[in-house]
Amino acid sequence: MSGRVFGFVINVNAYGATVRLESGELASAPAGDVDAHRAQYERSISGRKALAFVRHPGTKRPMVTIAPQIEEPELDAQIADYFKSTESWEADEEGRPAHERHFLQKKKRAALFQSKHSDET
């Protein structure tokens, strides 16, 4: 069984690292992965931050490696530019965001409905 799991690094040594998975199970991380991602392993152990791992079946205990992170600065820049270009779509002429306008319209309709139907009883 292999898949993405989360866990905390509890020990780093010359042979790799020991990781406590969210399930409570202990897993080993190979020395090569620890060397390649040392900053992330050390941040997890010192700050008690969970990391995303890929689980590989092992013999005594499962093996884990850091889950690959997708880093595409060009795509991130394009997304940021798109959000900046659409900022003007959100606010109306009075500067109210769309969710507030929607809430106010619903509130007005509810008041109108209540005033119409309260007279009938």
Q: What ranges do the domains of the chain cover?
A: 3-66, 73-120
Strand 51-56 and strand 3-13: pairing? antiparallel
Give the residue from 15, 25, 39, 29 showing the smallest Cα distance to 66: 29
| Separation CA 79–CA 18 (nearest Å) | 37
> What pLDDT is stored for residue 65 in this prediction?
93
Secondary structure (3-state) at 32? helix
- At 34, is the pLDDT very low, low, confident or very high (cuts 50, 70, 90)? very high
User: Is domain 3-66 given the CATH code 3.40.630.30 in the classification?
Assistant: no
What one-letter code names the amino acid at 25? Answer: E
Question: Region 22-39: what's the mean pLDDT?
Answer: 92
Question: Region 50-54: what's the mean pLDDT?
Answer: 92
- At 118, is the pLDDT very low, low, confident or very high (cuts 50, 70, 90)? confident
Judge whether 17 and 9 are in contact, CB under 8 Å: yes
Give this prediction's pTM: 0.55
| Separation CA 82–CA 66 (nearest Å) | 31
Q: Which residue has the higher pLDDT, 73 or 8?
A: 8
